[in-house]
Amino acid sequence: MENNQTNTGNPSVDITYRRKRNAEEMRHQVISFALMIFFTVVAFVAVGSGMSGWFTVPFILLLAAVQVVFQLYYFMHMSHKGHEAPALFLYSGLLVGLITILTFLTIVWW
Amino acid sequence: MHAEEKMTLEKWPAAPEKQTLEGKNKFVGFWLFLGGETVLFASLFATYLALKDKVPNPEHALAKDLFEIPLAFLMTMLLLTSSLTSVYAMYHMKNFEFKKMQLWLGITVLLGLGFLGCEIYEFNHYVHEYHHTFTSSAFGSAFYTLVGFHGGHVVFGLSWIILLMARNAKRGLSLYNAPKFYLASLYWHFIDVVWVFIFSVVYLMGMVG
């Protein structure tokens, strides 16, 4: 992580600096949480208001995808350095998973 | 720094979960596991989508008869909030504040238990009010397998966090247990990631029809 390089040799200075950085990051986490709550409410309202399925289904799937990006990159820290292997694993899994879903939706028809 | 070393605030590293070799290995290994879990849940979603509303006769309840907005919304809010509280726990872990970390993990567990209670009520309701069971139709099997597998993950995640909290209650934070707490919270976030798709694909799309 980038704040590994901020050793001044003075422990109390380092700690004050790191705590500040952590508090800053926590603020971003709370903002992403607020956005996730907002997307969730919008998705439920879109369904509750009884709009046409042709609009609602792609719309709530898009909201879900955005929410998951927030969850992965902020809550699960994938935006931090040193997450190349996790990204490889997750996206490989996602690729196989999406192909599975596509296959099932097209060849299973009974 | 080695894993069993007695830690102080001055010595606590910025990324305690990856300070030891064991921590680094666990981190990579756990993400590999989460990649596999993604495939597992994707196949269950694929099965559900293929078998949705496939019932033997018209007397069986379909997705639009079963699901209700208020309960799905409450469950989503409980799990989403518990994801934030576990972020707070990891924030205090990085600041070497063991008591505060335990407190926020405790709140996470309570919210998770609330979610689990709602799910038990929900399944019970479907079985007794709608006779929608695991064996009543292909739709029922696919629904309970997908949502039940997620519920099983919630049970496992809760047990994991509770065990970690109890096991390390008197030990305080060290480089030995920091990776354990970090991975348990990653697992908890992943459960929420899966739930985002469950409430969108199963509940919301089910109500749209």
Share of chain B above pLDDT 70, in %: 100
Residues A42 and A26 in one domain: yes
Which parts of chain B register pLDDT below 70? 1
Does residue A51 share a domain with residue A29? yes
B44 Cβ contact list (under 8 Å, min separation 6): B142, B145, B146, B149
Is the domain of A9 the same as that of A59?
yes
pLDDT score, position B4 = 74
Q: According to the model, what pLDDT value does residue B7 have?
A: 85
Q: Is the domain of A86 the same as that of A64?
A: no
**Set of chain A residues whose Cβ sits within 8 Å of the Cβ of B69:** 44, 47-48
Residue A108 to residue B13, Cβ atoms within 8 A:
no
A49 & A7 share domain? yes
The domain limits of chain B are: 17-49+66-208
Q: pLDDT tens across B52-105, in order? A: 999 999 999 999 999 999 999 999 999 999 999 999 999 999 999 999 999 999
Instruction: Name the superfamily (CATH) of residues B17-49+66-208.
Output: Cytochrome c oxidase, subunit III, four-helix bundle (1.20.120.80)
Count the helices and strands in chain A (H runs, E runs): 3, 0
Residues A37 and A51 placed together within one structural domain of the fold: yes
Same domain, A14 and A41: yes
Q: Which of residues 3-62 of A touch B (CB under 8 A)?
A: 3-4, 6, 11-12, 15, 18-19, 22, 25-26, 29-30, 33, 36-37, 40, 43-44, 47-48, 53, 56-57, 60-61
Residue A80 predicted with pLDDT over 70: yes
Q: Characterize B28-65 residue by residue with b for buried, 16 or more Cβ atoms within 10 angstroms of its Cβ, and e for exposed.
A: eebbbbbbebbbebbbbbbbbbbbbbbbeeeebbbbee
Dist. CA B129–CA A20, nearest whole Å: 54
Burial of B4 (C-beta count, 10 Å sphere; 0-12/13-18/19+): exposed
Indicate whether A58 and A89 sit together in one domain: no
**Which residues of B fall within a CB distance of 8 Å from A36?**
80
- Quick one: pLDDT band at residue A7, thresholds 50, 70, 90? low
Q: How far away is chain A from the Cα of B208, in angstroms, using its nearest Cα?
A: 6
Which pLDDT score is estimated for A2?
Answer: 45
A 57-96 residues with CB < 8 A to B: 57, 60-61, 63-64, 67-68, 71-72, 75-76, 82, 85-86, 89-90, 92-94, 96
Nearest to B35 among A12, A56, A89 (CB): A89
Are residue A75 and residue A87 in the same domain, yes or no? no
Distance CA B189, CA B155 (A): 14
Provide the domain count of chain A: 2
* Rounded mean pLDDT, A66-75: 94
Q: Residue A67 sits in which domain range? A: 2-79
For residue A5, is pLDDT > 70?
Answer: no
Q: Which residues of A touch B32 (CB under 8 A)?
A: 85, 89
User: CB distance A60–B204 less than 8 Å?
Assistant: yes
pLDDT at A10 over 90: no
Residue B53's region, left for phi above 0, alpha for psi from -120 to 50, else beta, is: left
Task: pLDDT band for A9, please (50, 70, 90 cuts).
Answer: low
The pLDDT value recorded for residue A3 is: 47
**Tens-place pLDDT, residues A13-65:** 788 899 999 999 999 999 999 999 999 999 999 999 888 889 999 999 999 99
